[in-house]
Structure 1
């Protein structure tokens, strides 16, 4: 989906633009507009007919959030939950100039669910999508920066964007723009790097940290913001330091009576610890890279979700499964095949990740094989290991063609994997 948003090839965008500078791509340079993802009628449907609750909707006026009590209420008999969106309240606030913010559309609006998943796959970092609906000649928020990269997709109407150089480059998630409020106010008075009106089908990419503000023009503006939370070198360092907690010398106490309130007196101890970290990082570089990589994979799993399964359709597929029915690994699901016996292989991955064998394989081992998933671990006889690895590789599999199993045993295995939400029907 990245090619829908940027007027550059993916390799060129990665090398020259990503994380470095903004990019304005006009509709004429892109394959198509974004009306298939959202539009005025879809916004009305979400607000009026979908029973959406806060915090999936916010409202803001002139840089300040509107009290949610102004646009939420219970929905009557059978739906007394009090924080549901009240269309009457939204209308009142919107007519008075408040911007509607639809948050987390990638979790509940089907066109954007598919779009955000494809964007996540293309950029390799977790992506999410919000929508901003701003009444004519109004703005939602003061000049600020985001702690994630954004792709602004103009859906309908027009909006003027002013973009300024960062006051704090590459901010982390715990370094919000409010920490630099005065510097941002001053920077917003400078000549902008970009001062442009986005029209339907245009896209503006902004790396995190770039100061920006936007104002609707003479009609209601709807734009989507695709937020990308990039993993950073800081994440790698933090994961490596956590791994170093196994080192006895780093767990030792600092000297008795050390004056921790006096930085000058702790500098010697600090230097000793940093020197130990540098030495251990060099000596154990390969081990730390493996452990840190596994931790980043775990964090990625926490921030993303695989394609949702459909429970009723899945059970129907289990009942109808035969030896030649093709199944494939569930998109976005990360798993690992591990054998408990000595000399057995461990393979991790899924269709969206690379797979690797960490040791040689011995499929004759009587020890069970485990399929480890983000939320559970499934155990199978060792003879299933080649079949599980074949499924994990991401190519379609059938019971009649699974390695190491006959068709009858293959059906037993695939029925379980289908029922457990590991495989899906094509």
Structure 2
């Protein structure tokens, strides 16, 4: 990859790992820390100044921004104002050691949009991006896990990631949270410096702490196709059908008649499935219940 050029595809994202080795890592869901060769490797995607600039311009809708201080979310009411007041408030919070998260960053940063689209084609997953900026020590969230695999790209500053034992198995968006085992302790600690990346598999509980004055990292989020996701995509189609939205009047007909008609309709939907079409729609259609980005 040329110096100072933005990462554009899966091979460049996971260097020096090969794309094939990374796909095996996705399948095994084992954490991996990969030290970087250069401190500014990811800065061409988005650096600290460009991120703060983006927030000040007011182009980003308030629904995609989250603010935290002392690992507690700051009420977002003032973010509805996209004028100078938003920028002033963000600056004041950063001066008070806060964290800023940007969800759906691929929709707001062209280089991230291109990268996510390319990686989705190459991996088969739905791929999105998040940005986390933290001023001062600490981080945004307390210990938690995410329902997607994450490649963390450290852009600015240093951050300590602590991954814990007893991961939740195959979590998906919208499912009830799986409580941690009471005796589960820290498994591994990783310190990320600029140019490093870290693979955090879905379900691994983790906590982050900034080392130094500030940190900026990018999260490339991999959402795999699952049976649950397939049902979600089928439901999205059914919502467009007046027949599928019709009430099932069990009291006005025999339950056997209603049951048979319902099964026939659902079986017809499943029988018409094309895995290639399903995979394409998965890659290009938004994921529900994914408004929590990677930890900060």
TM-score normalised by the chain length of structure 2: 0.74
1:303 pairs, out of 257, 269, 286, with 286
- Aligned match of 2:22: 13
Deviations 1:83-116 (A, max 9, x none): xx61110111122221011222211212222222
- Aligned match of 1:37: 45
- Aligned match of 2:140: 140
Does structure 2 retain, via aligned residues, the 8 Å contact 1:62–1:142?
Answer: no
Deviations 1:366-404 (A, max 9, x none): xxxxxxxxxxxxxxxxxxxxxxxxxxxxxxxxxxxxxxx
- Aligned match of 1:203: 197
Does structure 2 retain, via aligned residues, the 8 Å contact 1:236–1:292?
Answer: no
2:70 pairs, out of 54, 62, 68, with 62
Hey, what's the Cα distance between the residues in 2 that align with 1:16 and 1:130? 21
- Aligned match of 1:212: 206
How many angstroms does 1:39 deviate by? 1.1
RMSD: 3.7
- Aligned match of 2:94: 94
Does structure 2 retain, via aligned residues, the 8 Å contact 1:71–1:90?
Answer: no
- Aligned match of 1:180: 178
Does structure 1 retain, via aligned residues, the 8 Å contact 2:163–2:207?
Answer: yes
How many angstroms does 1:155 deviate by? 0.3
Which is higher, the Rg of structure 1 or of structure 2?
A: 1
Does structure 1 retain, via aligned residues, the 8 Å contact 2:36–2:195?
Answer: yes
- Aligned match of 2:271: 288
Using the TM superposition, name which of 221-230 and 49-58 deviates more.
49-58
2:81 pairs, out of 44, 67, 73, with 73
Query: What pairs with 1:297-376 in structure 2 (closer than 5 Å)?
Result: 297-303=280-286
Does structure 1 retain, via aligned residues, the 8 Å contact 2:127–2:222?
Answer: yes
Give secondary structure in 2 for the equivalent of 1:91.
Answer: helix
Does structure 2 retain, via aligned residues, the 8 Å contact 1:71–1:93?
Answer: no
Question: For the structure 1 residues 237 and 65, does the alpha-carbon distance in structure 2 shift closer, same or farther, using more than 3 Å as the test?
Answer: closer
- Aligned match of 2:219: 225
Q: How many corresponding residue pairs?
A: 261
Question: Does the alignment pair 1:191 with 2:224?
Answer: no
Question: For the structure 1 residues 105 and 155, does the alpha-carbon distance in structure 2 shift closer, same or farther, using more than 3 Å as the test?
Answer: same
Does structure 2 retain, via aligned residues, the 8 Å contact 1:105–1:131?
Answer: yes
Hey, what's the Cα distance between the residues in 2 that align with 1:107 and 1:155? 19
How many angstroms does 1:236 deviate by? 4.8
Hey, what's the Cα distance between the residues in 2 that align with 1:101 and 1:293? 34
Give secondary structure in 2 for the equivalent of 1:213.
Answer: strand
How many angstroms does 1:27 deviate by? 0.1
Does structure 2 retain, via aligned residues, the 8 Å contact 1:4–1:32?
Answer: no
Question: For the structure 1 residues 296 and 12, does the alpha-carbon distance in structure 2 shift closer, same or farther, using more than 3 Å as the test?
Answer: closer
Does structure 2 retain, via aligned residues, the 8 Å contact 1:19–1:149?
Answer: no
Give secondary structure in 2 for the equivalent of 1:180.
Answer: coil
Does structure 1 retain, via aligned residues, the 8 Å contact 2:125–2:282?
Answer: no
- Aligned match of 2:3: none
- Aligned match of 1:123: 123
Give the unaligned 5+ runs of structure 2: 1-8, 238-247, 257-262, 288-296
Hey, what's the Cα distance between the residues in 2 that align with 1:213 and 1:74? 31
Does structure 2 retain, via aligned residues, the 8 Å contact 1:152–1:205?
Answer: yes
Give secondary structure in 2 for the equivalent of 1:160.
Answer: strand
Does structure 2 retain, via aligned residues, the 8 Å contact 1:139–1:216?
Answer: yes
Give secondary structure in 1 for the equivalent of 2:212.
Answer: coil
Question: Does the alignment pair 1:24 with 2:33?
Answer: yes
How many angstroms does 1:206 deviate by? 1.3
